[in-house]
Amino acid sequence: MLTKIKEFVKRWEKKIIFAIAIFLIASLSFSLGFIKGGQIIARPALVIDKELIVNLDKEITSSTQAVIKEQSLFVASSRGKYYYPVDCSLAQNLSEKNKIYFSTKEEAESRGYLQNTKCEY
């Protein structure tokens, strides 16, 4: 039995070494890609200062709300992490009671929101 194994190894030696080398290279490539991919996907922590969020229903009259909505170019949800242009179809799905309005991108980003890339302004 041992002689059969030795004969097999001698006969297929180059192909066995080639197969092992391919396996090791593939394993290393996958591992490096997995590590690099994890670094790309990692995002900084989202921090929203809840004291800055204004609840339009409680603190502002309905006439003032209408003026703010008309002058605002961007909207976000107090429960989300993205902001949208007010005319974006995704913004229409936000709950009215959770909507927060911003006049500029900078204002939204300073409060910790990220721009949703599906609705460009």
| Higher per-residue confidence, 4 vs 55 | 4
Residue 24 has a pLDDT of 94
Residue 102's alpha-carbon distances to 11, 19, 38, 68, in angstroms, are 74, 60, 33, 9
pLDDT tens by residue, 18-56: 999 999 999 998 888 877 776 666 666 666 665 555 554
What does the buried/exposed string (b/e) look like for 20-47 if buried means 16 or more CB atoms within 10 Å of the residue's CB?
eeeeeeeeeeeeeeeeeeeeeeeeeeee
Mean pLDDT of the chain: 78
pLDDT at 15 over 60: yes
Q: Place 101 in a pLDDT band, splitting at 50, 70 and 90.
A: confident
- For residues 82-87, give the mean pLDDT: 86
Nearest partner of 111 among 30, 46, 32, judged by Cα: 46
Residue 99 has a pLDDT of 86
Residue 25 has a pLDDT of 94
Q: The pTM is what?
A: 0.45
- For residues 73-78, give the mean pLDDT: 87
